[in-house]
Amino acid sequence: MFEPSAWEERYAGEERFWRGNPNPQLVAVASRLTPGTALDVGCGEGGDVVWLAGQGWKVTGADFSANGLARAARHAAEAGVADRVDWWQVDARTLTADGRSYDLVTTHYLHAPDGGMVEVTRRLTDAVAPGGHLLVVGHAPSGVFAELSASHRKAMFLAEELLPGLPDDFEVLVAEQRPRELNREGETVHAHDATLFARRKLSS
């Protein structure tokens, strides 16, 4: 499930894959920030985009799936926040900021194959404004996710492994694995969110 074609096919039907609730690490972080501009990379069906917009943020939802973005746009319209969001079809692995900058850049559970998340992290930092924040959250290869195939585990990461992707003008605020409970077919299972939260220093 690493390529656009797989997600295009997945989002082509009517089934809704995610509950639409915001991710808990985003809520924990963004609730303490002053709303401004935000970029959510790998936004999928738009749960985090809609939540951020509802909190007063002006949000760009980015994803490499056109079908996913179409779903997200519908959900934003249904939630009454369409006027606070826009959409950007882009692959995180080749994302270039091109002068765009945001007060918050966030991505959740985006996993590049072959350990490519360090490069993705570096690309995301280019879109963070001075004084802005970066939040990268992914599945750590522990708990229920330790049972997945070797190729999927290889795409997972620990928060500390992303640190080489941060330029020198970033201050690390959080780099840890945070426990999380998931519901799988009515059963509670345990996992860990690899959580990197960093702030770009203001220009001197």
Position 134 pLDDT exceeds 60 = yes
Reduced to 3 states, what is the DSSP secondary structure of residue 106? strand
Angle between helices 66-78 and 47-54 (to 10 degrees): 30
| Residue-level pLDDT at 93 | 92
Q: What is the dihedral of CA 202, 195, 185, 69, to 10 degrees?
A: 30
Query: What token pair was written down for 121?
Result: 């992290």
- At the fourth CATH level, the homologous superfamily of domain 4-200 is Vaccinia Virus protein VP39 (3.40.50.150)
Residue type at 21?
A: N
Distance CA 137, CA 44 (A): 15
For 132, residues 6+ apart whose C-beta sits below 8 A from its C-beta are: 36, 101, 102, 103, 104, 105, 199, 200
For 157, residues 6+ apart whose C-beta sits below 8 A from its C-beta are: 111, 115, 117, 138, 140, 141, 194
For 28, residues 6+ apart whose C-beta sits below 8 A from its C-beta are: none
| Residue-level pLDDT at 121 | 98
| Residue-level pLDDT at 146 | 65
Task: Tell me the percentage of the chain whose pLDDT exceeds 90.
Answer: 69
What is the mean predicted confidence (pLDDT) over 150-154?
68
What is the mean predicted confidence (pLDDT) over 27-37?
97
Position 115 pLDDT exceeds 60 = yes
Tell me which range, 60-69, 123-132, 152-161, 187-196, is most confidently predicted by mean pLDDT: 123-132
What is the mean predicted confidence (pLDDT) over 16-41?
91
Query: How much of the chain is in helix, strand and coil states, percent to nearest 5?
Result: 35, 30, 35
Task: Tell me the percentage of the chain whose pLDDT exceeds 70.
Answer: 84
What is the mean predicted confidence (pLDDT) over 125-133?
98
6-18 pLDDT per residue, tens: 666 676 666 666 6
> In whole angstroms, what separates CA 100 from the centre of its chain?
17
| Residue-level pLDDT at 163 | 98
